[in-house]
Amino acid sequence: MLKKFKEFAFKGNVIDMSVGVIIGGAFGKIVSSLVTDIIMPFIGVISGGIDFQGLSVTVGEAVITYGNFIQAVIDFFIIAVSIFAMVTAIQKAASLRGKKEEEEAAAEIAAPTTEELLAEIRDILKDGSHPALKSADSLEEKE
């Protein structure tokens, strides 16, 4: 049982995923701080000094703090846009790298080796089938 757990826990995908979760958590904290400390005060100034975190409604004895919800929605949109931008940049870089590799592979495939060229010349000279050889023969016949 312990052996199977070690095999599972130390597979590349599990480790990659755990690193992604840790980085995602840290990234979420950075974006939350950006929204709370920079964007929301700026929006508050533009909207006439409204503090979104202080927005709430009291229904009976329950306090509904919808300002926190508004801030959470803004956090989500900023995180979503940031992740979209990162994924798009990574995909573009990968596609550029892929195109470059394809071009290099095509160049390698298109260029025959020296041995292949020499073998082709040898075969043409043996057969005498190339048009240039035929015209050279006709010149020799005229002389």
Question: What is the per-residue pLDDT across 69-99, written as a single tens digit (0 to 9) for each?
Answer: 887 888 788 778 877 887 888 888 888 887 7
Query: Quick count: other Cβ atoms within 10 Å of Cβ 27?
Result: 15
Neighbouring CB atoms inside 10 A of 41's CB total 14
Q: What's this model's pTM, rounded to 2 decimal places? A: 0.47
pLDDT given at position 107: 66
Structure tokens at 118: 């020499």
